Amino acid sequence: MAAIFSAFLLANTLLMGFLLHTAVGSNDFPGQPGKAVVGGVLGLCVSVLWLAAYEHVAASVDMRIARAREIEPEGWELLTGRPHSFSHGQEVAFDGEDEPMRVTGFARLGIRNAARLLIAVFMVVYATVAVWGFVDAVT
């Protein structure tokens, strides 16, 4: 999962860098309207592929975890019981810990939602550049 996410993150970062360099290179945002529109649409397409690949891999991980929970021996609590409750934000007490533990602060956002938010930020920037380039070309 991390390898696919990292590959798309690298590709999008490079594409975004080239696009923004081209867009502001002429000191008049979005620069050349044609390049802004094509770059923004291309970036949106790559981001949609990134989101689709991420969601597919995340669903596969969920399926494997659910299957592992099914076959976990009674009393092990590696994926079931308290660890499962903890990952869902509930307060849980463990042996050797003085106070119950709970996910707090920004950690409640979760890895999956944080990843989706990052992909959405890229999509918003690509769409902004494409729309701005289109408006600049029309006017």
- 24-79 per-position pLDDT tens digit: 766 665 568 888 899 999 999 999 999 999 999 999 999 999 999 999 998 898 88
Q: Give mean pLDDT, residues 13-33.
A: 77
Average pLDDT of the chain is 89
Q: Give mean pLDDT, residues 115-133.
A: 95
pTM above 0.75, yes or no: yes
- Give whole-number Cα distances, 11 to 6, 23, 75, 99, in Å: 9, 18, 44, 44
pLDDT reading at 1 higher than 90: no
- Residue 30: CA atoms inside 13 Å, Cβ hemisphere, count? 26
How confident is the model at residue 139, as a pLDDT?
Answer: 82
Q: Give mean pLDDT, residues 7-34.
A: 81
Closest by CA to 44, choosing from 134, 138, 124, is 124
How confident is the model at residue 13, as a pLDDT?
Answer: 95
The residue ranking higher by pLDDT, 118 or 139, is: 118
How confident is the model at residue 29, as a pLDDT?
Answer: 57
